[in-house]
Amino acid sequence: MARSARRAQLEAAALAPLDWVEERTGLVGGVKYLLFRNVPRDVNWMQTLGSATLTAFLVQATTGVFLAMYYKPDPDRAYESIQHITNDVTLGWLVRGMHKWGASLFIILMFLHMARTFLFGAYKYPRELNWILGVLLLVTGMAEGFTGYLLPWDQTAYWATVVGINLNATAPIAGPFLAQFLQGGANIGSDTLSKFYSIHMLLLPGGIMALIGLHMYLVVRLGVTSPPWSRVAAGRPRHEGAPGGGREGLIREPASEEAS
């Protein structure tokens, strides 16, 4: 008896910080729900693409912060600071390399994640909004790619941006104004660079983080889609006398289901 009372005391002591936080925020219950909510029994590997995309974004955010510590957004010094990061800073080549290649992976993973969503029909009721948020994430992600490409201030970067800004200029009505705004002057120079830099590291990441937050809130709220070939019930109409469990999917559905 005494032992179990001691044990209870120990447990209470161990959980005290958690209780302290919970009493003041009420967040613990939410985190518990997040972790221990049920997902369909047959989710598969394709459905890890979303979290893989998030991982790629986190790699970009982390490496980006460290690059920003050494990068100088000025046409006279940008190129030299990139050389300095690549050649002199401890592990600078790794951080820069991860940022460069992580960008491509982030984009590829977004496309794959979108393809999976499309194949699974996971954009249908009630998840339409989440599909739209995803498209916005794709657009902001590609805008990140466009603005980040200029920052090394080498030939590749400079001329690709010249072409990119000229593309913007061809848009009807808003095009020339957009190009003027991006370029920030008569030709691509220091105003362009600082503009691209602030868009790249402040505006777009902020937008992406907000969108990711909403995106994941909706995933948790609406639940993870079960694969369309699911043999588990997950939303199928129940038939009288059908065997339950794993054989549910083998039951031929009534004809009315076919034509919807």
- The amino acid sitting at 13 is A
Rounded CA separation 243/249 (Å)? 10
Query: Shortest approach of other proteins to residue 133 CB, angstroms?
Result: 10
3-class secondary structure, 239: coil
Token pair belonging to 163 = 């072409």
**Residue with smaller CB distance to other proteins, 4 or 38:** 38
Query: Shortest approach of other proteins to residue 181 CB, angstroms?
Result: 14
CA dihedral 27, 28, 32, 34 (to 10 degrees): 20
Question: How far lies 125's CA from each of 88, 121, 122, 223, in Å?
Answer: 53, 9, 8, 12
Rounded CA separation 51/145 (Å)? 20
Query: Shortest approach of other proteins to residue 11 CB, angstroms?
Result: 21
Residues constituting the chain: 260
Rounded CA separation 158/189 (Å)? 10
**Residue with smaller CB distance to other proteins, 10 or 93:** 93
Query: Shortest approach of other proteins to residue 10 CB, angstroms?
Result: 24
**Residue with smaller CB distance to other proteins, 21 or 160:** 160
**Residue with smaller CB distance to other proteins, 3 or 238:** 238
Query: Shortest approach of other proteins to residue 199 CB, angstroms?
Result: 16
